[in-house]
Amino acid sequence: MLFNSAGFILGFLPVVLLGFVLLAGGGHRRFAGLWLTAASLVFYGWWNPIYVPLLLASMTANFWLGGLLRRHPTRALLIAGIAANVLLLAYFKYTGFLVQVADQVTGAGWSAPQIILPLAISFYTFQQIAYLSDAHDGAVGEHNFSNYCLFITFFPHLIAGPITHHKEMLEQFEDPDGFRPRIDTMAVGATLFLMGLFKKVVLADPMGAEAAPVFAAAADGASLAMLDAWTGALSYTLQLYFDFSGYSDMAIGLGLLFGISLPANFDSPYKAQNIIQYWSRWHMTLTRFLTTYIYTPLVLRATRARVAAGKPLPRRGKMTPGAFLHLVAWPTIATLMISGVWHGAGWQFVAFGALHAFYLVVAHGWRAFKASRGMPLDSSNPLKHGVAVLTTFVCVVIGAVFFRSADLTSALTLLAGMAGLHGFEFPPVLAELPGLASVIAALGVNVAQPDFFRPTTALQIAVLLAFCWTLPNSQQWLRAARTALGWKPWSSWMERSMPWLSWRPNAAVGVAVGVVGFYALARALSAAPTEFLYFQF
């Protein structure tokens, strides 16, 4: 069931919300939690009920193992539990890819089995691994099965995140002031849901329609001219932005309808002026998980090994090449490679992880170099800031090509077109502009109509990029209200110069949200719903 489908908007959500209001509003919070768990299982089973028992078995086994780890925190038991979760995920997600690779290496003629990836398995596997790790470390307080089930299955975050932490969710389930129907939080939640729906159906889906034929042509081996290739890459980069931003808004908004604040998962990542900032703003809960449970343990292990070998730890701002390699570079590479293959089974995802690992190692190395010279890490100069943001964005676009492509070959084909290796065609409609004809003739540029580039598409891309780079995001706009869990609002220069860009509970804002919401609902209900991009991971 999709958040943008008629079945969800007109059927599932009103029924579930009504049941919650009756139960929680009447003081029966325990029954309200059970009601939401049951509804979440129905929501999950709507896609394919055959995988509901798998989800139930996974939750039961991990809850039991978590209790055992709380009583007997042995490392062997923790490793066994994590391995079991990883192997389950690997079977469904990577068996086909691994068999294909083995066949290519050995030439044995093996055929990859057709295994359907259970919805959300990547997300709930990470949540349960974190639970086991924290149970082993003594960081799990409450151990209640009904609350644990709701923590895993709560439908606003079940399918595509945010990846929630047990502590931040279980505490809310026991909060009598929060886990109940409240008009103020429900109003903000509905506002966020409608804003996210608008981003999905009005902004993301049209960009996806522009990107799809370009990537399909690359998958067919077509030699794409530069404008066509950049049209596809930029369209997909914007589709991904608004699709994931829209889902994040809708998930947080749905949580607020039930008195639950979900953690922030999206914070204007295209405004980042380096790739380190980008990863702290994109899929923030995934970055949090990778940092807490993979990157930090690797750094600590490398630190202990360095101390045991009698090597001094680097002083602040004094990082030697050897220390940088062991304490920063290798943990970063390992973490990003895991992130890459978590997103999908294929060489294109391996390349995606390796590319972003390279980006991050270079960024950390450059910052370490500047720190050693006493240079400011980030410039306050507007021109330098703009160049940094644009450079980071171009790096992200290149990575997005691997993220979207059907395989590594088609990704490289599209990148070759973006680099101009397949030529450049200047559209006739632009060549006719005053003063351009002589310049084009002097440069010897080929004037021909590109297959996919259109001026209207270029205008859409330019407008949406301006939207990404200048306007406040949803959490900033609603910073005066309760939105994401632990959200610390900050304001952009545009907000400071135009305070009317901030949400206010008045009639004008209500009318504006109503118009936007009505248009989004009309668009969503008048066409077949499209999946959110992160559903496939």
Q: Say how far apart CA 204 and CA 212 lie, in whole Å.
A: 12
Asked if 471 and 494 touch (Cβ cutoff 8 Å), the reply is: yes
Return the SS3 of 426. strand
Cα gap 215→416, rounded to integer Å: 13
Q: Which residues of 79-113 are buried (b: 16+ CB within 10 A; e: fewer)?
A: eebbebbeebbbebbbebbebbeeeeeeeeeeeee
Contacts for 9 with CB less than 8 Å, ≥ 6 apart: 3, 521, 524, 525
Q: Which of 157, 326, 343, 364 is catalytic?
A: 343
Tokens in use for 246?
């829209």
CA distances from 384 to 381, 403, 442 (A): 5, 29, 33
Q: CA gyration radius for the chain?
A: 25
User: Between helices 347-372 and 330-343, what is the axis angle to 10°?
Assistant: 150
Are residues 298 and 331 in contact, defined by beta-carbon separation less than 8 angstroms?
Answer: yes
CB 148 within 8 A of CB 226: no
Which distant-in-sequence residues (6+ apart) come within 8 Å of 156 by Cβ? 250, 251, 252, 254, 255, 258, 260, 262
How far is 521 from 130, CA to CA, in rounded Å? 37
Tokens for 148? 């644990």
> Residue written as tokens 């397949």?
422
CA distances to 219, 221, 233, 419, 447 from 416, in Å? 13, 11, 12, 5, 20
**Residue 166 is among the residues annotated as catalytic for this protein:** no
| CA–CA gap between residue 344 and residue 350 (Å, rounded) | 9
For residues 24 and 30, what is the distance between their CA atoms, to the nearest angstrom? 8
Which residues are known to be catalytic?
343
